[in-house]
Amino acid sequence: MVLEIKNICKNFGGISALTDVSIRINEGEIYGLIGPNGAGKTTMFNIITNMFPPTTGDITFFNRRITGIKPHNITDLGICRTFQNIRLFSQMTTLENVMVGAHCRSKAGVLSGVFRPKSQRTEEQQIREKAIELLELVGLSEYHDVVSENLAYGQQRRLEIARAIASDPKLLLLDEPAAGMNETETANLFDLIKQVQARGVTVLIIEHDMPLVMKLCDRITVLNFGKKLAEGTPEEIQNNPAVIEAYLGSEEDDEIA
């Protein structure tokens, strides 16, 4: 068990964004988290990474309770995320962005950074090589020195993934990685996530692109209005009447209206 989410509730003022949600994610899985807008998916990510605490409930990561731990320590433990609205370090180059990702796996402090003993130079060299390798993985090899805000949208999304992988996560949280991508880019993204899985990383993904989710995920949880509506394999989800009504059915209603 990589991640166990136990009875999470989250209230913002009087509004409950999440109500009693439990999810268990096994090692090596690609796990999908889907649901209509406002269902509480990103809230769940923010709670897992402790950007804010849950109102009640617990989260354990490899049987270790992580609720209440500072976000940067959670990254240190091996959970890293990407953001729905891309949050790159916009004035850094592509390579530097990925090198920042390796921050918690390196140690150099002020003095060793300035006086550069051999250990620091070796470490810096390793970070650089790792970053170059990851940029190759996400298909950005030619863009090392490009300032990241000048990259195309799809490239920025892939750079975010590279930056997150640079922290050597055991669990990678992807928040709508295919948003705004065309079909070719989405196909490339599919391959990329599969490669990430092959590296032994467990993936939890929020995504609206249903064909991608159904093809990619081993298991899926559907959220609706902050409640868990269904859980199962892509096939089970596709045939679940409650899901069809809440999720797909509502679109038909909209069309009729």
Partner 1 sequence: MLGEFINPYYLQIGSFILINIILAISIYVTLSSGQLSLGSAGFMGIGAYTSALLTIHFDLPILVGIIAGSLVAGICGIIVGLPSLRLSGVYLAIATLGFGEVMRVFFVNWESVTKGAVGLSGIPHIGRELLNFFRDAGFDPSSIGMRNNQFTYLLVLILLLLINIFIIWFFVRQNKSRVGRAFAAIKMDEKAAEAMGINITYYKVLSFTQGAILAGFAGALFAHVLAYISPADFAYHRAIEILIFAVFGGSEVILGAIFGATFMTIMPEALRFISEYRYMIYGLVLIFMMAFRPQGIIDENIMQWLKKKLPSKRGRSHGSRNQKHM
Note the residues at the interface with partner 1 (CB under 8 A).
Answer: 49, 51, 70-72, 75-76, 80-81, 83, 87-92, 96, 99-101, 103-104, 106, 108-110, 112-116, 120-121, 123-124, 127, 163-164, 167
Please, what is the end-to-end C-alpha distance for the chain in angstroms? 44
Nearer to partner 1, 44 or 127 (CB): 127
Please give the order of strands across the beta sheet that includes 171-175: 79-81, 171-175, 202-206, 30-34, 219-224, 227-232
Tell the residue number behind the tokens 């091996």, with chain if given.
78
Question: Residue 255 CB, nearest distance to partner 1 (Å)?
Answer: 37
Cβ at position 24, least distance to partner 1 in Å: 23
How far is residue 78's CA from residue 73's CA, in Å, rounded to a whole number?
A: 9
Nearer of residues 26 and 119 to partner 1, judged by Cβ: 119
Residues forming beta bridges with residue 172, ordered by sequence position: 80, 203
> How do strand 171-175 and strand 15-25 relate by DSSP bridges?
unpaired
Q: Shortest gap between Cβ of 58 and partner 1 (angstroms)?
A: 21
Least separation, in Å, of the C-beta of 46 and partner 1? 10
Q: What is the CA radius of gyration of the chain?
A: 19
In this complex, which beta carbon is closest to partner 1, that of residue 33 or of residue 229?
33
| Strands of 3-12's sheet in order across | 15-25, 3-12, 56-61, 64-65
Counted residue by residue, the chain has a size of 257
- What is the 8-class DSSP label of residue 68? T
**Which lies closer to partner 1 via its Cβ, residue 63 or residue 91?**
91
Task: Give the nearer residue to partner 1 in terms of CB position, either 40 or 169.
Answer: 169
Give me the sign of the Cα torsion angle 219, 224, 227, 229.
Answer: negative
User: Least distance from C-beta 118 to partner 1, angstroms?
Assistant: 10
Q: Cβ 254 to partner 1, closest distance in Å? A: 33
DSSP structural state of residue 93: B
Instruction: Please say which residue, 104 or 244, places its beta carbon nearer to partner 1.
Output: 104
Shortest Å, Cβ 97 to partner 1: 9
For partner 1, the closer CB: 167 or 224: 167
Q: Can you tell me the distance from the alpha carbon of 41 to that of 22, in angstroms, rounded to the nearest whole number?
A: 13
